[in-house]
Homo-oligomer: A and B are copies of this chain.
Amino acid sequence: MLNETMMALGKTRSVIRDIFEYGNKRKAEIGAENVFDFSLGNPSVPAPACVNEAIRDLLAEKPDIYLHGYTSAQGDAGTRGAIADDLNRRFGTNFRADNLYMTCGAAASLRITLGAVICQGEEVLTPAPFFPEYRVFAESAGAVFNPVLCDKDTLQLDLDAFRAAIGPKTKAIILNSPNNPSGVVYTTESIKKLADLLREKEKEYGTVIYLIADEPYRELVFDSSLEVPYLTKYYADTIVCYSFSKSLSLPGERIGYVLVPDEAASAGDVYAGICGAGRALGYVCAPSLLQHVIERCVGQVSDLEAYRKNRDLLYGALTEYGYSCVHPDGAFYLFVKALEEDAGAFCEKAKEQELLLVPSDSFGMPGYVRISYCVSEEQIRRSLPAFRALAESYRA
């Protein structure tokens, strides 16, 4: 009688949420300091100072109707111009305000973009492991969603697997680098090869295949010499979906954008479709005060050093204890091989040590656990004996 699909989606709490709720219960029982919750990807460092300064200054300087009034549906022109300038400065690109459409965060960016490009029954691919909501967004937009497994040793793109997977119905590929849940940054070489493959397949099928770059973790990279390739420079039919949730530690504020470069196939129509999908999905404009904050803070980044220290501490200890894990270059996740085949059973055993980890099944690559290290350094230090004991319990 009601919409069964939506009801089922609302009732299935994600695995991650379930673990988080268990953690809250357990903390009440034995004390918060004795439960080591690594389940949620919620930034643990504050926003850079410029954010709250910008809010205070805007309140002092600007009239309410500017601060809290509607912007155009595509977003405030000044904000979009500031973002274009920042991208051009950093990546040597040549974007204008009109290439950008402001959104309520990366989830909105992805869902709106898929709404614009997908016709019923077309296919969306993504490398696995992947963020589980991709499936929800793709299917809600009428697409068939198919993950393509990464190389098991490196968690880098498996180009042969992509070659086998791409067909005439393939309309879009979502690429998330640095990756949630693996922390891996796809190499420039692999991006070049993927771009070559996509151009070849576009020609073979006479289709357009959009590369949708989901980039909330772009700035969360811990080695300044490491290049995270900017995809529009390697492949024309790229659409960038961005969020300031992680770079400015503003996940609750829901502020991000979609970027459609002029070079993308049917760029004007794609942009119109994005405006139309935003309208049809009930997005009127991105939150206005935060748009004005972004105009003043774009290019700033939260304190990455805290995340880097956490990564080094946890990665160093876990590998010492005998866990195997690809070295993560960015985001704030470790993707660790479970010590038995069934990652769910491994997570249950971890709970005996009060360690809350997320089994990798819903990320599309069974046999691993995701460890979110956007927590206090103290929590990591206190958890290390538990990780050691867990490893030892498998050697006994």
Contacts and interface: CB of A to CB of B under 8 A. Distances in A.
Interface of A: 1-11, 42-44, 46-47, 51-52, 55-56, 59, 63-65, 67-71, 104-105, 107-112, 115-119, 133, 136-137, 139-140, 207-208, 249-254, 266, 269-277, 279-291
A289 B118 CA distance: 33
Query: Interface residues of A: mostly helix, strand, loop or mixed?
Result: helix
Given A119-B2, A282-B281, A284-B254, A47 B68 contact: yes
Given A59-B52, A251-B68, A283 B2 contact: no
B68 A276 contact: no
The complex is assembled from copies of this chain, and their number is 2
A282 B108 CA distance: 4
A9 B279 contact: yes
Given A272-B10, A276-B11, A2 B108 contact: no
Residue from A1, A281, A291 with most neighbouring chain B CB atoms (10 Å):
A281
Minimum-distance CB pairs A-B, first 3:
A252-B288, A111-B282, A10-B276
Contact of A119 (B3, B133, B252): B3
A56 to B, nearest CB: 7
A291 to B, nearest CB: 8
Given A2-B270, A3-B119, A64 B284 contact: no
A212 B286 CA distance: 25
A184 B252 CA distance: 37
Nearest to A44: B65
Given A65-B44, A249-B68, A254-B284, A266 B2 contact: yes
Given A274-B10, A287-B287, A287-B290, A250 B68 contact: yes
Given A46-B63, A55-B55, A69-B251, A281 B281 contact: yes
Contacts of A250: 68
Given A6-B273, A59-B55, A275-B10, A254 B42 contact: no
Given A43-B65, A44-B65, A254-B285, 6 more contacts: A2-B266, A6-B115, A52-B64, A56-B56, A104-B283, A254-B288
27 contacts: A1-B207, A2-B117, A2-B266, A3-B273, A3-B276, A3-B277, A5-B276, A6-B116, A6-B274, A7-B269, A7-B273, A10-B116, A10-B272, A10-B275, A44-B65, A52-B64, A56-B56, A68-B251, A69-B251, A104-B284, A104-B287, A107-B282, A107-B284, A112-B282, A140-B281, A252-B289, A254-B286
Contacts of A5: 276, 280
B56 A116 contact: no
